[in-house]
Amino acid sequence: MEKSRTHPHHRKVDEHTWLIDTGLNRPGHTGCYLVRSGNELAFVDCGASTSVPGLLQALQELGFRREQVRYILPTHVHLDHAGGAGRLLELCPAALLATHHRGLPHMIDPGRLQQGAMAVYGEAAFRRLFGDLVPAPESRCRALEEGDTLPLGDTALRFLDTPGHANHHGCFFDPRGGNLFTGDTFGLRYPELDAAGSPFLLATTTPVAFDPDAWNRSLEKMMALEPERACLTHFGPLEAPARWLPLLQASLETHVRIALEEEENPEEGREERLREALKERILEAAQAHGALPGKDEVESLLEIDIGLNAQGLAVWLARRARRREKGL
């Protein structure tokens, strides 16, 4: 039976960190992290508005109060990470919303963000998945830049500017246990496809600001911190991330190669061709990885992300074409 969105699974990551399943898309697809230091709490990512009741229930079940929440920290403003930020801010009276300086204006005025998401998902799916976007009051927001720190109890979280998946993406580092909250910059992990102790990682090239060169620079910056654990939004903590970095880099290279092979073809039908090419190679990679489910089960598991990745690669190729026309 599918878990109710208002009764999310939560589990302890370490003595001061919990993973909460927001219930978006399916169980085990989209999480957020609750971080505690002393009597203060921070949510890193928060799912959609439809996720907020479950987050507050998890807070209560863990023995915490809304008044203890000091920060709401979206890694970026894609709606599966930040769509619930405004609603959660309303319900946590002492909280401050802090995110990348490029993304914050879309939290204060989410109109363009909503229009863009509707273009990607369609209006009916948007309403079902994400609900309403609540504007965040500017007085309760902070724009973050590279190296900013956020005092939390007896520690401080560090913000890293990590473009590549999106130009408004940032990660948060907790120095106490070496947790790096990676949003989408360490890719997508599918726990169902773990094999022989090895994770299956997939780069996420969703619209509209995929930049593979910037992404690789971001990974270098992240690994320079020597994190003990990468806390992925999709989905779950990953121990010893430096060990698994080549898996993500290989996926990133595959996506770029597929896009460049398509670049000289007509634009008509491009997204569908990209989707088919991605599906073929990603399913091959999953089977080579030793994934346990059958091909149909793997395809069903990856279907949403393959479609979004194809859209993002098509946008990237269009952006490259515009730059060439301008002689850039």
Backbone φ and ψ for 78, nearest 5 degrees, come out as -60, 145
Write the DSSP symbol of residue 50. Answer: G
Give the pLDDT of the chain (328 residues) as one tens digit per residue.
233 344 458 999 999 999 999 988 888 899 999 999 999 999 999 999 999 999 999 999 999 999 999 999 999 999 999 999 999 999 999 999 999 999 999 999 998 888 877 887 788 888 888 888 999 999 999 999 999 999 999 999 999 999 999 999 999 999 998 999 999 999 999 988 988 889 999 999 988 899 999 999 999 999 999 999 999 999 999 999 999 999 999 999 999 999 999 999 999 999 999 999 999 999 988 888 876 667 788 888 899 899 999 999 999 999 999 988 887 6
Q: Kindly list the distances between the CA atom of residue 24 and the CA atoms of 28, 52, 76, 107, 162, in Å, as whole numbers in the listed order.
A: 9, 11, 17, 20, 24
What is the C-alpha to C-alpha distance for residues 231 and 151, in angstroms, rounded to an integer?
20
Rg (CA), the chain: 19
Q: Dihedral sign, CA of 254, 317, 323, 117?
A: negative
Amino acid at 1: M
Whole-number pLDDT of residue 4: 38
Whole-number pLDDT of residue 178: 96
What is the C-alpha to C-alpha distance for residues 290 and 195, in angstroms, rounded to an integer?
6
Count Cβ atoms within 10 A of the Cβ of residue 293 and give its class: 0-12 exposed, 13-18 middle, 19 or more buried: middle
Whole-number pLDDT of residue 293: 65
Whole-number pLDDT of residue 8: 53
Backbone φ and ψ for 107, nearest 5 degrees, come out as -80, -35
Residue (of 257, 258, 244, 109) closest to 182 by Cα position: 244
Determine the Cα angle at 24 with ends 27 and 102, to 5°.
135
**Contact, 293 vs 193, CB < 8 A?**
yes
**Contact, 177 vs 126, CB < 8 A?**
no
Q: Kindly list the distances between the CA atom of residue 324 and the CA atoms of 49, 156, 265, 310, in Å, as whole numbers in the listed order.
A: 40, 44, 16, 21
pTM of the entire structure? Answer: 0.93
Residue (of 164, 157, 149, 159) closest to 219 by Cα position: 164
Q: Kindly list the distances between the CA atom of residue 222 and the CA atoms of 4, 132, 160, 276, 328, in Å, as whole numbers in the listed order.
A: 34, 33, 8, 32, 29
Residues 6 or more apart whose CB falls under 8 angstroms from that of 80 comprise 22, 24, 25, 30, 47, 48, 233, 234
Whole-number pLDDT of residue 122: 83
Whole-number pLDDT of residue 3: 38
Whole-number pLDDT of residue 123: 85
- Residues facing 32 on adjacent strands: 20
Whole-number pLDDT of residue 1: 28
Domains and CATH numbers, the chain: 1-132 (3.60.15.10), 186-206+220-328 (no CATH)
- Number of neighbouring beta carbons within 10 Å of residue 202: 25
Q: Dihedral sign, CA of 210, 29, 110, 35?
A: negative
